[in-house]
Amino acid sequence: MTKHYRTAKSGTVHALDEISLSLGAGEFVSIVGPSGCGKSTLLMLISGLIPVSSGSIKVGAKPVNGPVDATGIVFQRDVLLDWRSVLSNVMLPVEIKGLDQKAHQRKAMELLHSVGLSGFEEKYPSELSGGMRQRVAICRALVQSPGLLLMDEPFGALDALTREQMNLDLQRMWLRDRNTVLFITHSIEEAIFLSDRVVVMSARPGKVTEVLEIELPRPRGAYTRSDRKFVEYIERVRRCFLAQGILSEA
């Protein structure tokens, strides 16, 4: 699969080149690569929000020719609606799709409870911290029980401690529900901590240069990051970027 963009000033931009990638049901896969390599473009292609230039994408057995219904998306910005309460924000996809309100409100309440937001259902986004807002965004993506969850640097704007806690929260939710997750991040450590596999991409046009199987026991916790194998995985990804000239030795 490839993707080209046409721009007014620079003509054609070759964003992705000959990408071949598959995700198993219930698998957690992360993508790391330099800025501008097409990570977010790949996510948008899989979600059906933009079309491929050549090749094809399937979710399940169905070709992607437009927005994929059974997919949840979480962006770097939470994009909550400021005039809606926390619960109302989580319920937004249910309203848009005309799904059963009563059943999904129970699910929304359960999700909010699972991320420590019980009692905040009637609060508004302006009353929440950045980490709390992103928890709401994740609940919104999960309320319709999507088979595929696409996450585009969802913790990139958070401080280090909040980000580490969000990693733990996301892992716990994934272990419970076993959604298939495609997670985009600039953090090598975050990718290794969360994932079954880590996909390493090149600079633009983005290509898959290596796929690492992460064989660390779950659930992973604070001490996982100091495990010898965890450090070895980090070094393997860094060597990939050094070999491509994306990183340079001091």
Q: What is the pLDDT of residues 16-68, one digit of tens each?
A: 998 999 999 999 999 999 988 889 999 999 999 998 989 889 888 888 888 88
Asked whether the beta carbons of 203 and 244 are under 8 A apart, the reply is yes
Q: Residue 11 has what pLDDT?
A: 76
Asked if residue 10 has pLDDT above 70, the reply is: no
Instruction: Judge whether residue 250 has pLDDT over 70.
Output: no
pLDDT confidence of residue 4: 86
Burial class from Cβ neighbours inside 10 Å (0-12, 13-18, 19+) for residue 234 reads: middle
Mean pLDDT across the chain: 92
Q: CA 149 to CA 119: how far, in whole Å?
A: 26
pLDDT > 90? residue 236: yes
Query: Cα separation of 188 and 175, whole Å?
Result: 21
How much is the pLDDT for 184? 96
Q: Per-residue pLDDT averaged across 83-98, rounded?
A: 94
| Domain boundaries defined on the chain | 3-70+147-244, 81-145
Mean pLDDT of 185-208: 94
Best CATH choice for the domain 3-70+147-244 from the list 3.40.50.300, 3.40.50.450, 1.10.1060.10, 1.10.10.10: 3.40.50.300
Strand 28-32 versus strand 180-184 pairing type: parallel
Report residue 15 as tokens. 């964003």
Least confident of 124-133, 156-165, 223-232: 156-165
Q: Mind listing the pLDDT tens digit for each residue in 95-153? A: 988 889 999 999 999 999 999 999 999 999 999 999 999 999 999 999 998 889 999 99
pLDDT of residue 61: 81
